[in-house]
Amino acid sequence: MGKKILVVDDDPDVRSFVLTVLEENQYTPLVACDGVEGLEVIQKEMPDLVILDVLMPRGSGIRLYRHLKTDDALKAIPVILFTGIALRSFLKSQKALEEFKGEKVPEPDIYLEKPVEPQELVAAIRKKLD
């Protein structure tokens, strides 16, 4: 089996789409519905890559992203942000959070704005893993 990739998204439609793309490209998909569940799966499975939605109930993508990037055990895991929110708005919220918390986290490796074609998603994954 291929490398383990976790999809964290509250939208079942998005989950099934990404899951299918991953399967079709010989990766091993893992899924989580929200940030809390996402962190549990990451700690248990240590995936090779995380595809993360930003706006989610119960532990938003932003919170999980910041957790991943500040946890020494997890910060090496590459993250693809995959969201309907424009990158500009996301970076703005990050900046506000950094000023508020006084800590800086690196900008996301890859930021994909939905909708994306399957090839785009695969290209982004390959760029991080190969």
CB atoms within 10 A of CB 27: 21
CB atoms within 10 A of CB 3: 15
For other proteins, give the closer residue by CB, 85 or 97.
85
Say whether residue 55 binds other proteins (CB under 8 A). yes
Terminal Cα-to-Cα distance of the chain (whole angstroms): 15
Among 2, 45, 46, 84, binds other proteins (CB under 8 A): 84
Which stretch, 7-15, 42-50, 64-72, 98-106, contacts other proteins (CB under 8 A)? 7-15
Which residues lie closer than 8 Å to 28 by C-beta, 6 or more apart?
1, 2, 3, 4, 5, 22
Among 4, 66, 85, 93, binds other proteins (CB under 8 A): 85
**Minimum CB distance to other proteins, residue 15 (Å):** 9
The secondary structure of 24-43 as a DSSP string is HTT-EEEEESSHHHHHHHHH
Say whether residue 2 binds other proteins (CB under 8 A). no
**Minimum CB distance to other proteins, residue 111 (Å):** 16
Among 3, 37, 94, 118, binds other proteins (CB under 8 A): 118
Whether the link from the prior residue into 12 is cis, omega within 30° of 0, is: no
Question: By CB under 8 A, how many residues form the interface with other proteins?
Answer: 21
DSSP 84: S
Say whether residue 115 binds other proteins (CB under 8 A). yes
